[in-house]
């Protein structure tokens, strides 16, 4: 099961290949200095990796950083490693796994994975991803943990298989749709000081691909959103590929729809070529949709313009995905709302920066090779004295895309009809086309192609913005290297740090710098045994990792970094399983806090209000976690991490 599962995951990830940005936007002018390029070429040797595998913090050396008060854990290279290893003085226990009951009447998880989709609708979805904690007002020991379920893996089914070569059975498709979306679960700190689920809470809720949601903002009721099943263009069934998240100052959860193009197909070559919204996002054009072939059982995923409405009425269905969806976790009856003012792309996250005056920005990556970094600035302000007035703040505002200059400066380019070349003659007759085709609009405006922007995190005091660029093996080929994306065939990724002008979330200019390049470490030795020479700016100071993905700040300003690389890839084997690390933003020291089971990705982070409990997600473990018995099917799982002495995590 491990191999089959791992291969399936690898195949899903490879779909990023089809969305290489074809635009001709110029890269940053300045090239990497040649001595550095030589380092990179010979650099990532086993010797270098090995040095750091047993490296600084694993040896328990005292840290210069006042923030990193724990010992690093070593890499785990054993291909059978099937548990979570957390640093000494802490414990990590499974808390919430795929199939666990959520809503009233949900059956317990069945280890043989029955294909009862009605049961799945009430149970935890698959592939736990971004996650946030919402404290009940005035209560520090009680809250709602809200998390995304990004996609599904073959162990969802009793057969352990998803066969796209035949029409899909409808009950399997429905179960897969039910396992996408979001879970809301109530959690409470018990008398023993341990956090537990409240199993019968009225707040426990599943939202899935089968949950009706309202379309709001500039695209609501627009012709581009109208379909055979929703001729008014006002209500969409479901949300999918929910990856990272955001929170609003008024206490709602933002779930972000990432790789939606993989769920659709348009088989008409002429229509496909003419339709920017299908071509630029890389929908399938023949065979089946890339993920799961749902269209063989559920026609709304077939966006081909067949002449009869029953079958051809779904050309606009893809336009109804790729948005930010706002969910009020404290109102279990409230319909989720797709906020179209944010624009549409493969949306990774919506990270909030809140100014002192209530003005705000939400930062979002578009995770595909050579895609862009965006921010959405609502027109209004948050008024903490009147949070209810914020109800529809997200329906009005400006979408911007980042242009990074080689000298460390940058501009936010407004994606607004009539500005930056976004006119009818270029295919943007109104703001609706700009928002639906935000990638094409960003091409036209002259945005900087990046190495797969994933999460953003905003420093709790300085409002500096940290953005992970996870990797890009197309760099140096499809997109030339530049200062912010400096490595060709970039297997390991980097983290950038941005400062908005005046620390103002709404600024239109900023400065940026490389915070670190992953996959290399200061003081590492090259293949020849010699220290890596010359310019080490941006490399890692501390423990080694690849492909930074999730990032989040805790209240003390520690930057937590989560990784997502294929641990079966030869280039990754010496750094072993995926990791949760912690960085000091001042010293740039990075230390490994936790290692996950083989085949997993570590993603999603949330804290209790006192910082003494942390939840992290183990997504698509490869062997049999959390049973870790070598035979039970693996389950994506939230783990609860606490310090044995009851202290603040990381302190
Ligand atoms: Fe779902 Fe880009 O991670
Ligand atoms: Ca991610
Ligand atoms: Ca990733
Ligand atoms: Ca993932």
Name the residue among 361, 346, 332 with its Cα closest to residue 248.
361
Give the nearest ligand 1 atom to 258 CA.
Answer: 1
The stretch 421-429 carries a mean pLDDT of 97
Cβ of 257 closer than 6 Å to ligand 1, yes or no, is no
Cβ of 172 closer than 6 Å to ligand 1, yes or no, is no
Q: Is the pLDDT score of 97 beyond 60?
A: yes
Q: 475: CA distance to ligand 1 center in Å? A: 19
Name the residue among 283, 341, 338 with its Cα closest to residue 315.
283
pLDDT at 28 (0 to 100): 42
Name the residue among 623, 626, 604 with its Cα closest to residue 615.
604
Q: 98: CA distance to ligand 4 center in Å? A: 15
pLDDT at 524 (0 to 100): 64
pLDDT at 538 (0 to 100): 79
Higher per-residue pLDDT: 214 or 571: 214
Give the nearest ligand 1 atom to 346 CA.
Answer: 2
Q: What mean pLDDT value characterizes the chain? A: 90
CA dist 199 and 223 (Å) reads: 43
pLDDT at 520 (0 to 100): 80
pLDDT at 387 (0 to 100): 82
3-state secondary structure of 532: coil
Mean pLDDT check: name the lowest of 97-106, 310-319, 376-385. 310-319
The stretch 66-77 carries a mean pLDDT of 96
Surrounding residues of ion ligand 3, Cβ less than 5 A: 549, 564
User: What pTM, to 2 d.p., does this model score?
Assistant: 0.91
Pairing of strands 494-500, 465-469: antiparallel
Greatest pairwise CA separation for the chain in angstroms:
71
pLDDT at 640 (0 to 100): 98
Q: Is the pLDDT score of 358 beyond 90?
A: yes
Mean pLDDT check: name the lowest of 274-278, 376-380, 464-468. 274-278
Nearest-CA residue for ligand 1 atom 3 is 243
Higher per-residue pLDDT: 238 or 24: 238
Query: What confidence category does residue 574 fall into, taking pLDDT thresholds of 50, 70 and 90?
Result: confident
Q: How far is CA 479 from the centre of its chain?
A: 22
Asked if 434 and 442 touch (Cβ cutoff 8 Å), the reply is no
Name the residue among 194, 192, 239 with its Cα closest to residue 213.
239
Q: 365: CA distance to ligand 2 center in Å? A: 10
Give the nearest ligand 1 atom to 454 CA.
Answer: 2
Nearest-CA residue for ligand 1 atom 1 is 243
Q: How far is CA 619 from the centre of its chain?
A: 12
Cβ of 367 closer than 6 Å to ligand 1, yes or no, is yes
Q: 447: CA distance to ligand 1 center in Å? A: 21
* pLDDT cut 70: percent of the chain above it: 88
Give the nearest ligand 1 atom to 244 CA.
Answer: 1
Q: 180: CA distance to ligand 4 center in Å? A: 13
pLDDT at 388 (0 to 100): 82
Query: Residue 633 to residues 162, 624, 637: CA-CA distances in angstroms?
Result: 15, 5, 12
Q: 358: CA distance to ligand 4 center in Å? A: 33
Domains in the chain (CATH in brackets) are 4-227+238-258+322-643 (2.120.10.30)
Query: What is the SS3 string spanning 598-630?
Result: CCCEEEEEEECCCCCEEEEEEECCCCCCCCCCC
The stretch 117-123 carries a mean pLDDT of 98
Q: Is the pLDDT score of 598 beyond 70?
A: yes
State the DSSP code for 295. G
Q: 584: CA distance to ligand 4 center in Å? A: 25
Cβ of 371 closer than 6 Å to ligand 1, yes or no, is no
Q: What is the pLDDT of residues 320-331, one digit of tens each?
A: 999 999 999 999
pLDDT at 525 (0 to 100): 61
Q: Is the pLDDT score of 332 beyond 80?
A: yes
Query: What confidence category does residue 19 fall into, taking pLDDT thresholds of 50, 70 and 90?
Result: very low
Q: Which ligand is nearest to the CA of 565?
A: 3
Give the nearest ligand 1 atom to 564 CA.
Answer: 3
Query: What confidence category does residue 311 fall into, taking pLDDT thresholds of 50, 70 and 90?
Result: confident
pLDDT at 553 (0 to 100): 98
Q: Is the pLDDT score of 51 beyond 80?
A: no
Give the nearest ligand 1 atom to 150 CA.
Answer: 1
Query: What confidence category does residue 44 fall into, taking pLDDT thresholds of 50, 70 and 90?
Result: very low
Cβ of 451 closer than 6 Å to ligand 1, yes or no, is no
Cβ of 366 closer than 6 Å to ligand 1, yes or no, is no
Number of Cβ within a 10 Å radius of residue 231: 10
State the DSSP code for 114. -
Cβ of 454 closer than 6 Å to ligand 1, yes or no, is yes
pLDDT at 187 (0 to 100): 98
Q: Is the pLDDT score of 1 beyond 50?
A: no
Q: Is the pLDDT score of 36 beyond 60?
A: no
Q: Is the pLDDT score of 173 beyond 90?
A: yes
Cβ of 258 closer than 6 Å to ligand 1, yes or no, is yes
pLDDT at 382 (0 to 100): 97
Q: Is the pLDDT score of 12 beyond 50?
A: no
Give the nearest ligand 1 atom to 259 CA.
Answer: 1
Q: How far is CA 15 from the centre of its chain?
A: 15
The stretch 599-627 carries a mean pLDDT of 98
Query: What confidence category does residue 43 fall into, taking pLDDT thresholds of 50, 70 and 90?
Result: very low
Q: Which ligand is nearest to the CA of 152?
A: 4
Q: Is the pLDDT score of 290 beyond 80?
A: yes
pLDDT at 223 (0 to 100): 97
Cβ of 150 closer than 6 Å to ligand 1, yes or no, is yes
pLDDT at 4 (0 to 100): 37
Q: 404: CA distance to ligand 3 center in Å? A: 22
Cβ of 584 closer than 6 Å to ligand 1, yes or no, is no
Q: Is the pLDDT score of 269 beyond 50?
A: yes
Q: 454: CA distance to ligand 2 center in Å? A: 6
Q: What is the pLDDT of residues 469-516, one digit of tens each?
A: 999 999 999 999 999 999 999 999 999 999 999 999 999 999 999 999
pLDDT at 522 (0 to 100): 73
Q: 337: CA distance to ligand 1 center in Å? A: 21
Surrounding residues of ion ligand 2, Cβ less than 5 A: 454, 549
Number of Cβ within a 10 Å radius of residue 79: 16
Q: Is the pLDDT score of 39 beyond 60?
A: no
Mean pLDDT check: name the lowest of 10-19, 23-32, 380-389. 10-19
Q: 367: CA distance to ligand 1 center in Å? A: 6
pLDDT at 591 (0 to 100): 97
pLDDT at 336 (0 to 100): 98
pLDDT at 310 (0 to 100): 77
Q: 549: CA distance to ligand 4 center in Å? A: 9
Cβ of 243 closer than 6 Å to ligand 1, yes or no, is yes
């Amino acid at each position: 099961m491990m191999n089959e599962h791992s291969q399936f995951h690898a195949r899903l990830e490879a779909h990023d290949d089809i969305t290489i940005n074809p635009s001709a936007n110029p890269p940053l002018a300045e090239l990497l200095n040649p001595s550095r390029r030589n380092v990179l070429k010979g650099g990532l040797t086993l010797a270098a990796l090995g040095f750091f595998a047993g490296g600084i913090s694993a040896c328990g050396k005292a840290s210069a950083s006042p923030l990193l008060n724990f010992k690093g854990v070593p890499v785990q290279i054993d291909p059978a490693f099937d548990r979570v290893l957390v640093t000494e003085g802490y414990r990590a226990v499974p808390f919430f796994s795929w199939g666990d009951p959520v809503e009233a009447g949900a059956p317990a998880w069945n280890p043989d994975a029955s294909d009862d989709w009605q049961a799945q609708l009430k149970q935890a979805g698959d592939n736990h991803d971004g996650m946030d904690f919402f404290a009940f007002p005035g209560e520090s020991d009680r809250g709602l943990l809200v998390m995304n379920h990004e996609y599904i893996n073959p162990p969802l089914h009793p057969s352990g298989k998803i066969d796209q070569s035949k029409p899909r059975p409808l009950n399997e498709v429905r179960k897969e749709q039910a396992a996408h979306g979001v879970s809301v679960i109530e959690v409470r700190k018990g008398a023993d000081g341990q956090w537990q689920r409240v199993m019968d809470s009225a707040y426990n809720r599943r939202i899935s691909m089968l949950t009706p949601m309202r379309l709001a903002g500039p695209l609501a009721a627009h012709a581009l959103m109208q379909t055979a099943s929703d001729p008014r263009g006002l209500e969409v069934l479901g949300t999918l590929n929910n990856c990272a998240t955001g929170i609003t100052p008024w206490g709602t959860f933002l779930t972000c729809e990432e790789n939606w193009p993989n769920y659709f197909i348009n088989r008409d070559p002429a229509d496909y070529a003419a339709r920017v919204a299908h071509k630029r996002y890389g929908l399938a054009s023949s065979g089946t949709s890339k993920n799961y072939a749902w269209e063989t059982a559920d026609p709304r995923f077939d966006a081909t313009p067949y002449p009869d409405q029953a079958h051809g009425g779904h050309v606009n269905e893809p336009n109804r995905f790729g948005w930010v969806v706002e969910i009020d976790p404290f109102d279990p009856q409230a319909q989720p709302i797709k906020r179209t003012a944010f624009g549409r792309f493969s949306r990774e996250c919506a990270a909030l920066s809140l100014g002192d005056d209530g003005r705000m920005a939400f930062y979002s990556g578009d995770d595909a090779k050579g895609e862009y970094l965006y921010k959405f600035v609502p027109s209004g302000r948050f008024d903490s004295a009147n949070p209810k007035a914020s109800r529809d703040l997200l329906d009005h505002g400006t979408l911007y895309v980042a242009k990074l200059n080689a000298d460390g400066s940058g501009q936010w380019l407004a994606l607004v009809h009539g500005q930056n070349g976004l006119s009818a003659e270029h295919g943007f007759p109104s703001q609706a086309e700009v928002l639906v085709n935000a990638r094409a609009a960003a091409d036209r405006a002259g945005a900087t192609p990046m190495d797969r922007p994933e999460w953003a995190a905003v420093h709790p005091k300085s409002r500096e913005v940290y953005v992970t660029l996870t990797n890009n093996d197309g760099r140096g080929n499809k997109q030339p290297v530049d200062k912010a994306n400096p490595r060709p065939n970039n297997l390991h990724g980097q983290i950038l740090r941005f400062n908005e002008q005046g620390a103002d979330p709404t600024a239109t200019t900023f400065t940026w710098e490389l915070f670190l390049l992953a996959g290399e470490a200061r003081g590492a030795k090259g293949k020849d045994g010699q220290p890596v020479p010359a310019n080490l700016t941006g490399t890692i100071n501390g423990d080694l990792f690849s492909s930074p993905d999730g990032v989040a700040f805790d209240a003390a300003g520690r930057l937590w970094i989560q990784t997502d690389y294929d641990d079966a890839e030869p280039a990754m084997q010496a750094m072993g399983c995926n990791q949760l690390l912690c960085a000091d933003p001042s010293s740039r020291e990075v230390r490994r806090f936790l290692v996950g089971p083989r085949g997993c990705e570590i993603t999603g982070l949330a804290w209790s209000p006192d910082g003494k409990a942390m939840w992290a997600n183990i997504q698509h473990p490869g062997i049999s976690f959390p049973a870790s018995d070598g035979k039970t099917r693996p389950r994506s799982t939230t783990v609860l991490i606490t310090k044995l002495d009851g202290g603040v995590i990381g302190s």
